[in-house]
Chain A
């Protein structure tokens, strides 16, 4: 305290208190406060108006036992995560590796891959309709099939994930490309001298040094999979096979249902899963810093 008063004048302290105070109030008031309130509300049967009654874990029990959309949403979120993590992310990495060399037109390829990232997911959802629609869609016209890609609840999640991957690949590619550029070229050269072929050099030498990037990409993938919302909402409001946890939360609180306690319980499940990954991510980041 003594050193602080010596270094900062009264005016400095005022500036700091106001600046940081606003930041903390906004952050706590609009982000962490509501997050904690979600946890609290998930133990009640509040409907938006009237008295709040504590019902303990009943929402969670109802969720698991008497609310079929919950399990299809969990399934869809897991499938979504699997698809992004096992297909889209490796493909993004693959493209980054291919682009990480002196290539003519490299910028053009990068821009093309990266373009969907700047599009609103509402627009992506609409483009998906142009491609997949059963009567006028291009996919059926090209293949000669007459499949209702978006209406058939057993396949629509897969084709929507392809649209989501369309965005995800570019995102991952850019991040890996930046990571690869930072790898010491001497490492690769040394591996080449030791007789490693390109694939060995990548998997044995380059890939291990990308560990921090891998953690970041993993977290981005998980967070994106948990946040997925706009695209299914733009297509059919997230019904009929396109249920996701994020959609169920929104569904239960917006509109006539207004089952706030119940919606919060779904939100808390989302929170617990994401916090696990957020903590992993941050501990990685801040350990690096030391």
Chain B
């Protein structure tokens, strides 16, 4: 295709008439379509919220698609106490907070070494780390499980006395698995920071640690904010690692605790709906508050900053 750059004035003139013409019915159609899709996308979630607000005997009688006779928040109270959600939220925090912090620390230092220092084999390291993040977890789960049962831990750190069924074990696998993605994003980000800043510090005789901690890390704040939002959500939502590497019910993270609301013979789905909403709430709040960071995190990773 031979496209020569046209002078600045004509294109805007040439373009204006068609876009004016389309402003009418096509715009309306576009909005109608997008609104319809958006509504369709929200509907399932709205349904869960609606179901959670209605008593079981009512929905059993009328079905979920009916006008409400009673609306109640009772199920939320019940889910909160019966499923002991506060304890499971705490479990999740015990796993996710150190998980995110350690991942970012380790990843940012590694990214710094790869992007800023001319260490030998830096490209290989980056490739190996990034590839590790893309593996399906099932590929490594069997030996990992065996390894975890074989590594002893002192009783004060884990009452199972092994890495298996311990918080530390779950934190470690989150760190290891998410590490690659963070290194990749941060290394790309650090390359966009002007080299001169580091060079000037080098002349001043700053050591590696100081260049990392005092000079580079503060400049990475946007990337770190984006990554911590993303990592919080991913670790919070994890289901598989806890399923395989945990056995005591009382140590499970909150996503797995949902099953406590299922009875052995009978399940009250309205109660389960309330539980689901409560479990989904933290990520939804994070998403609403930090929408920009969240999207930035994903697109930083996929389009190389």
* Residues in A63-121 with C-beta less than 8 Å from chain B: 95, 98-99, 103-105, 108-109, 111-116, 118-121
Interface size class of A (residues with CB under 8 A): 35 or more
Nearest CB of chain B from residue A274's CB, rounded to whole Å = 6
User: A156 within 8 Å of B by Cβ?
Assistant: no
Chain B residue contacts of A174, Cβ below 8 A: 295, 298-299
Given contacts A112-B38, A127-B47, contact A12 B207 (CB under 8 A): yes
Known A16-B119, A120-B236, A274-B139; judge A109-B299 contact (CB<8 A).
no
A29 to B125, CA, bound (A): 15
The answer to the question of B5 belonging to the interface, with a C-beta cut-off of 8 Å to chain A, is yes
The answer to whether A121 and B172 touch across the interface, beta carbons within 8 angstroms, is: no
- Indicate whether A202 reaches chain B with its CB closer than 8 angstroms: no
A127 touches B240 (CB 8 A): no
Other-chain residue from B44, B175, B208 in contact with A131 (beta carbon distance below 8 A): B44
Q: How far is the CB of B66 from chain A (nearest CB, A)?
A: 8
Q: Is A203 an interface residue (CB 8 A)?
A: no
Partner of B30, one of A98, A191, A246, A263: A98
Q: How far is the CA of A238 from the CA of B52 in the complex (A)?
A: 26
Partner of A119, one of B10, B37, B237: B237
Give which listed residue, B134, B135, B269, contacts A130 with CB less than 8 A.
B269
Q: How many contacts between A and B, using CB within 8 angstroms?
A: 306
B36-64 to A contact mask, C-beta < 8 Å, 1/0: 01110110110110010000000110011
Known: A166-B41, A193-B6, A250-B138. Contact between A19 and B113, CB under 8 A?
A: yes
Main secondary structure of the interface of B (DSSP, over half): helix
Q: Is A145 an interface residue (CB 8 A)?
A: no
Given contacts A35-B140, A130-B51, A130-B269, contact A123 B119 (CB under 8 A): no
Given A11-B207, A16-B117, A175-B302; A26-B132 close (CB under 8 Å): no
Q: Please tell me if the beta carbons of B11 and A189 are within 8 angstroms of each other in the complex.
A: yes
- CB-based contact A186/B208 at 8 Å: no
For B128, what are the chain A residues with a Cβ–Cβ distance below 8 Å?
27, 32
Residues of A within 8 A of B240 (CB): 229-230, 250
Q: Is B244 an interface residue (CB 8 A)?
A: yes
With beta carbons under 8 angstroms apart, the residue of B142, B177, B258 that contacts A267 is B142
Q: Taking the complex as formed, is B255 at the interface, i.e. its CB lies under 8 A from any CB of chain A?
A: yes
Other A-B pairs beyond A31-B176, A120-B237, A122-B239, 14, CB < 8 Å:
A24-B125, A27-B179, A34-B141, A98-B33, A109-B35, A111-B291, A112-B38, A118-B233, A126-B258, A126-B272, A187-B3, A216-B303, A246-B138, A267-B139
